[in-house]
Amino acid sequence: MTALHVLVTGATGFVGRHLVAELLARGCSVRALARDEQRARTLPWFDQVQFVAGDLQQAGAEQVASWVDGVDAVAHLAWPGLPNYQALFHLEQNLMADYRFIKHAVESGVRQVLVTGTCFEYGMQSGPLDEQCAARPANPYGLAKHSLHQFLQALQLHQPFTLQWARLFYLHGEGQNPNSLLAALDRAIDAGAATFDMSAGEQLRDFQSITDAARQLAALLQHPEFSGVVNCASGRPVAVRSLVEQRLRERGAELHLNLGHYPYPTHEPMAFWAVTDRLQHLLQSTAQPVRR
């Protein structure tokens, strides 16, 4: 593959820090954009990238043009405020700020844009979900992401560019939110806790490691012929309780699972996972482009 020059937004975030590392491992040049340079300096790749401190929500057309000057593609991962999925700022602030940023980037000559979407765009639909399933977001975060996708599709009609919409499912690994399930479990293990409070754990989810997701996103960027939606996930349903028990085995830890302590979340169905046929085709082949 030809080495790319990629601008990664949200470069110090959970997904961004791993995508930057994966792109560098593939020989790509990276311009890393994030708001906090001090945080960026703590990451092992800082001296290998061109780091830019900036807030894309405040940036005008000239600022964005300078950020994207000379890049082949933009990987847009920045999205403040997670994991608060119910907050209206996703719609009232992030949505239009992100649209303006990408519009400015495209008007400045960028012809390939990868944006991370979310499984929450599918809403409360159950079972295996492929990219042909209609988006039915049931929370402000999912609605904002789906709306951004629609806005960018409208922009494509006026300013043609490749839009790669990567829907992420459930990720875990280094840098994950400290309030996430496995991070909380690790803290309990490290503290020598006797019990761990959780839901009944029967819900089925599509979990994968952040390093696997970073490899998938990097591979997509190396497929400039692909424009459309793709599920970035494992494609395998796993019960939450099974995930927790697997981590206990990995850590060699024994503690009592207080199952049913928390109710099941109301913003997601009991069982859903990704169909990843399209992703696997892209990862294994550079043949004819897959179109949405």
Single pTM value for the model: 0.93
Give me the phi and psi of 76, to 5 degrees please.
-95, 105
pLDDT at res. 292: 40
pLDDT at res. 257: 97
High-pLDDT (> 90) share of the chain, %: 93
Averaged confidence pLDDT in the chain: 94
> Mind listing the pLDDT tens digit for each residue in 218-234?
999 999 999 999 999 99
pLDDT at res. 285: 64
pLDDT at res. 267: 81
pLDDT at res. 2: 60
Cα 211 from chain centroid (whole Å) = 12
> Mind listing the pLDDT tens digit for each residue in 269-287?
999 999 999 999 999 864 3
Residue 7 CB partners (closer than 8 Å, separation 6+): 30, 31, 33, 67, 68, 71, 73, 74, 75, 105
> Mind listing the pLDDT tens digit for each residue in 88-100?
999 999 999 999 9
pLDDT at res. 228: 97
Domains along the chain with CATH numbers: 5-172+208-233+274-284 (3.40.50.720)
Tokens 């029967």 sit at which residue?
A: 202
pLDDT at res. 122: 97
For the cut 70, the answer to whether the pLDDT of residue 289 exceeds it is no
> Mind listing the pLDDT tens digit for each residue in 2-47?
689 999 999 999 999 999 999 999 999 999 999 999 999 999 999 9
| Closest listed residue to residue 73, CA positions, set 249, 202, 218 | 218
pLDDT at res. 147: 98
Buried b (16+ CB within 10 A) or exposed e, 257-289: beeeeeeeeeebbeebbbbbebbeebeeeeeee
> Mind listing the pLDDT tens digit for each residue in 237-260?
999 999 999 999 999 999 999 999
pLDDT at res. 287: 37
